[in-house]
Structure 1
Amino acid sequence: MSRQNSGKKETKLRASSGTRISKPTIFLLGFLLILVGIFGVLYNPSNSINATAPWKVSDAGILSFPEREKPVFTSQEIEDVYAPESSDTLRLLSFESKGEKIKALLRVPADSSSSPGLILLPGAGVSKEAEQGLAAELSNMGYATLTLDQRNLGGINTEKDLELFKAGLEPVEYTMVYDVLKASDVLAAQSEINPKKLAIIGESNGGRFAILVCALNPSLKGVIGISTSGYGTEEIDSSLVDDTEAYRFYRSIDPDTYLSTLPPAKFVLIHSFNDPVISHDLALRIYSLAKEPKAMYNVTEGTHGYTASMHPYLEKELAIILS
């Protein structure tokens, strides 16, 4: 080709530096620019989010997702080694949520054909298996439970999530909220469950997720938070905030933000005066922000999380919420 073209006048372009650029080089540069443009369109973070992980946060900091598809799950009956004395049916369920398989334990009271259902969220670092003591207690009250392992066992990294948020990517905590929303759909789809009688219970950090999910899923009749609280962003004057995106993100993961949207679902808080992890003052603050209908009960043990003394309050409020 070079010999055939050697007698023709080669077209030249002069760059700003005075260097001559050949036509093949120009074509190559143009081709590379086109590839870069196509790559930018295909892999733009916002496009990726819209395609695989849609979510939105309002100016007020309210997180939302588009309508969810009908849940697809697998179910396998397993031996109940966690409460072997019970006659409950225990199943291991698996369902897909934003590219990950979520595992959950479904506990159904014996001889139940239409049980009220509860999503049960353990505190950070607590597995679905370790929560079966409370699940069995709830079963004795007549309630089926779906207890799931959240991503990272409920642990969160807000600094990393903020980086993702600012980059237009989905924070892990948002996917964790979505996992629980999907779990509520899976619970409602079980043949032994009454889909019109559903509520959610969460301990500690699980309680925070429970409040968000109850606000985002109108089919849930109430939320019971055990040893939990909000983060206090409600007390920040937004007009004095320099980093508005950071403020919007932190608002979106704070249970306080969602309290006004909970009704008519009922908000119930059970807390210890002597909780060593989340102070009783923080519990009082979130309760004061909550709207009616609401109720709060206090115990005295110096522990964090569910205790036997909370049983009568739990039983009383579940009967009211799921009557």
Structure 2
Amino acid sequence: MNRHNSGKIERKKKASSGGKTPKPTIFLLGFLLILVGVFGVLYNPSNSTDDAVSWDVSESGTLSFHQREEPVFTAQEIEDVYFPESSDTLKLISFESKGDKVQSLLRLPANYNSSSSGSPGIVLLPGATISKEAEQGLAVELSKMGYATLTLDQRNLGGVNTEKDIELFKADIEPVEYSMVYDALKAIDVLAVQAEIDPKRLAIIGESNGGRFAVLACALEPSLKGVIGISTSGYGTEEIDPADVDDSEKYRFYRSIDPDTYLFTLPPSKFVLIHSFNDTVIPHEMALKTFALAKEPKAMYNVTEATHGYTGSMSPYLKKELALLLN
């Protein structure tokens, strides 16, 4: 551009704006526009990764996730201070899920090397308030039966705030309970790629609230051979007539976290419940209703202790069903 043409442009600017804009101001405005553009590209939700915005809920209340990315994790063999008398191998595994690091313990049976195809594996979800360390008692029992376990520290140690999650759901923000289900799915992915594990022989077990997440995870991951719920049940939303619900979005959210919603999608994965007639937290009647809704293949076993969670009397049933599922 020559100086003459440049002068004409400047005069047009003067005529239209009434004054000349200082060059530093022009440069500053240009820089700000570029900065805003870059910010928009970086923080545009449409550019979010799989682990950020990846969930949908159907009108009927069924949760689904977009395709999961390859698992990213670190593994370190550690001393088994929880059961030092055990000959198991224990590893601390930290894996990525929803932008967070989930801590877990992988327990490998002492004889896992005896199988060239690898050990059958179980993702183990503790009940609310129970850490991965506190769940090692059951993990050791499963190890004695010949099964490797990956036990998670669930978000909030398995506790849920349903009312807060409803607010998030209505705002199109992922509820924490959805993230907890996703953590279980990522744990399955992590377990499947461990060199000591047979990825074709995997199942999931959950106690209490962990059992609810386990059912959802099994319904969303068809590679699992089955799910075993210990002292757990659905929420009973199947009994509610949608026409009687004042808040349809609240109802849709409750449906999306209710194991009962997913029972019809479980087959051919097997559904197993182990419950006490005298459970002190989740009434036996609720477990019976959930079991009645489930499709074959399914099985239910009952014990009598007035307690909640795994007991030694459940061991024979657990051993029987795992042998049917994974051996």
Normalised-by-shorter TM-score class: 0.7 to 0.9
Unaligned runs of 5+ residues in structure 2 are 1-10, 22-31
Question: What pairs with 1:13-32 in structure 2 (closer than 5 Å)?
Answer: none
Distance in 2, matches of 1:172 and 1:258, equals 19
Which 4+ runs in 1 deviate beyond 6 A? 8-12, 35-47
Corresponding position of 1:86: 86
Corresponding position of 1:285: 289
Question: What pairs with 1:230-309 in structure 2 (closer than 5 Å)?
Answer: 230-309=234-313
Q: Which has the larger helix fraction?
A: 2
C-alpha displacement at 1:67, in angstroms? 1.2
Corresponding position of 2:52: 52
Question: What pairs with 1:156-171 in structure 2 (closer than 5 Å)?
Answer: 156-171=160-175
C-alpha displacement at 1:80, in angstroms? 0.7
Distance in 2, matches of 1:89 and 1:9, equals 81
Distance in 2, matches of 1:116 and 1:305, equals 23
Does the alignment pair 1:71 with 2:71?
yes
Deviation sequence 1:244-285 (CA, Å, 0-9, x none):
211111111110000000000000000001111000011111
Distance in 2, matches of 1:285 and 1:86, equals 39
C-alpha displacement at 1:53, in angstroms? 2.4
Task: Report the CA distance shift for 1:59/1:295 in structure 2 as closer, same or farther (over 3 A).
Answer: same
Deviation sequence 1:205-262 (CA, Å, 0-9, x none):
0000000000000111000000001111111111232322111111111100000000
Task: Report the CA distance shift for 1:76/1:285 in structure 2 as closer, same or farther (over 3 A).
Answer: same
The number of equivalent residue pairs is: 306
The amino acid that maps onto 2:245 is V
Distance in 1, matches of 2:295 and 2:159, equals 28
TM-score of the two chains, using structure 1 as the length reference: 0.87
Q: CA contact under 8 A between 1:49 and 1:55: conserved in structure 2?
A: no
Corresponding position of 2:99: 99
Alignment RMSD: 2.8
Does the alignment pair 1:198 with 2:205?
no
Corresponding position of 1:221: 225
Q: CA contact under 8 A between 2:107 and 2:149: conserved in structure 1?
A: yes
% identity of equivalent residues: 75
Q: Which moved more, 1:67-76 or 1:298-307?
A: 67-76
Task: Report the CA distance shift for 1:138/1:55 in structure 2 as closer, same or farther (over 3 A).
Answer: same
Q: Which moved more, 1:98-107 or 1:47-56?
A: 47-56
SS at match of 2:249: helix
Unaligned runs of 5+ residues in structure 1 are 13-23, 25-31
TM-score of the two chains, using structure 2 as the length reference: 0.86
Q: Which moved more, 1:111-120 or 1:122-131?
A: 111-120
C-alpha displacement at 1:51, in angstroms? 8.1
The amino acid that maps onto 2:53 is A
C-alpha displacement at 1:199, in angstroms? 0.2
Deviation sequence 1:152-174 (CA, Å, 0-9, x none):
10111111111111111111111
Distance in 2, matches of 1:126 and 1:101, equals 18
